[in-house]
Amino acid sequence: MSTEPYNANTTDSDLKGEWSIRPCSAYKEEYDDCTSIKARFHQYFIHGENIDCSQWKTDYNNCERYTNSNKKDVAAGEAVIRSEAERRRKRMEAHYGNTTWNKRTQPPEDWSKPLPEWLAKKYENTYLELKQMELDGRRTPEVIEKSYCAIM
């Protein structure tokens, strides 16, 4: 057992961005899903052609070489990290390209004001309200006596 204090930033390797590498099985599942008959039909229906799934297979192979060998293949790990960064960039492209809405820097001033009376009345005695009352200590939990005895 190590006598060094635990440091969350300490890893076996100093590979920057290692946190972004998923479990290798995730890449395999994504590849299998991407190449399934159902997915191919969906891709053809949406895009008019089948999309390229080879990046999932490449990421799986690189992940295996990086994580499951005695000596980690750092180049393979870096390739997976670059692939994940590119995937994140593509996913967020529309968000950052949006010029219609202004992004907030802080929540609105009145974000926690009480609900209007008509809405509060609508949610009276709902399951969620009763549970919240129990959590706040405004109501004692109900003990329901149930009998499971059956005579046949």
- Tell me the pLDDT of the chain (152 aa) as tens digits: 334 333 444 445 568 999 999 999 999 999 999 999 999 999 999 999 999 999 999 999 999 999 987 788 999 999 999 999 999 999 999 999 998 988 889 999 999 898 899 998 988 888 888 888 888 888 777 777 777 777 77
- pLDDT value at position 14? 65
Range of the domain at 136: 112-143
Residue at 48 is within a domain:
yes
Q: Which helix (H) or strand (E) holds 81?
A: helix 74-97
| Residue 22 shares a structural domain with residue 93 | yes
Residue at 6 is within a domain:
no
Residue at 57 is within a domain:
yes
Residue at 38 is within a domain:
yes
| Residue 85 shares a structural domain with residue 117 | no
Q: What is the pTM of this model?
A: 0.62
Residue at 32 is within a domain:
yes
Write out the two tokens for 89: 């960039």
Q: Which residue has the tokens 């990046």?
A: 55
| Residue 71 shares a structural domain with residue 139 | no
- pLDDT value at position 124? 86
Domain count, the chain: 2
* Cα-based distances in Å from 92 to 51, 85, 88, 95: 20, 11, 6, 5
Residue at 49 is within a domain:
yes
* Cα-based distances in Å from 78 to 23, 75, 115, 139, 140: 15, 5, 50, 55, 55
| Residue 82 shares a structural domain with residue 23 | yes
In whole angstroms, what is the distance from residue 111 CA to residue 101 CA?
A: 19
| Residue 75 shares a structural domain with residue 132 | no
| Residue 59 shares a structural domain with residue 118 | no
Residue at 59 is within a domain:
yes
- pLDDT value at position 115? 87
| Residue 88 shares a structural domain with residue 116 | no
| Residue 42 shares a structural domain with residue 84 | yes
